[in-house]
Structure formats: C-alpha cells, structure tokens
Copies of this chain bind each other. A is one copy, B any other.
C-alpha cells in the first residue's frame, strides 16, 4: 500500500540533520549571517554538506515562516527571529542590528493594512545609519 496518496499535492516534510543544524545555528545567533556564512559554520559540524543544501533550506525556512531575510551588500542575510521588529544596517561596518523599539506599529497604514494600492500581508522596515561603534 502506498505511504501517501499519489495524487496528493503536498510533499511530506522530512527532518534531516542538515536542516536541524542549519536552523539551530540560525536561532543561536543574532548576527544575521549570509548564506555563505551559514555554510562555512555548518560545514564544521557537517563537513560534507553542500552549498545547495544550505541555500535550499534557508529558502525553505523563509517560505515556511521560520526565518526572514534582510538584503544587504547584494546578498541575503538570515534571521530566525520572526517576531515583529525592524533592522538597522550600519553604513560603515555593514553590520545588521535588530530594532525592537516601536517599529511603526502604531501607524495607521500598518494598523489598517490597507493603503490605497492594496492589502498588506507583511512589511519590512530597514534603517540605515551609523552604529554606536562606528560613530
């Protein structure tokens, strides 16, 4: 007998050590690492892991709502903290910081989620400036 219906559209989600180690690492840091950085760190625990596996899983985590991305320096950076918060990107050192202070949650557009052009599902706020260390 089939393990699952042949005509089922949804795939079974399998847990693998690769997935778990990638996600564990992401959850353990607040540095917003790039895919390349995740790869180099995870490679220490799983020396045979493929770069494609890292990219594929990071993308999947995002789709599943287990991570979000911040684009900086021409590449994606990942954040496993999906709670509502903004990001601050330093124009000098390029580090990415979390901003939990009232990130516009009281603004009418965000509250209503319906600007003239459509209906908001989610949003991103990025601040650019000089971090404490750099200035």
The answer on a CB contact under 8 Å between A123 and B130 is: no
Query: Interface size (A, Cβ < 8 Å)?
Result: 38
Contact across chains for A107 and B102 when beta carbons are under 8 A apart = yes
Are A132 and B118 in contact, with the CB atoms below 8 A?
yes
Partner of A121, one of B99, B118, B130: B130
Closest to A113 in B: B129
Scan residues 88-135 of chain A and give those whose CB is less than 8 A from a CB of chain B: 88, 90-91, 97-99, 101-104, 106-110, 113, 115-132, 134-135
**Minimal Cβ-Cβ distance residue in B for A112:** B101
CB nearest neighbor in B for A132: B118
Known: A118-B129, A122-B129, A124-B128. 8 other contacts (CB 8 A): A88-B117, A88-B118, A99-B109, A99-B117, A107-B107, A118-B132, A119-B130, A121-B128
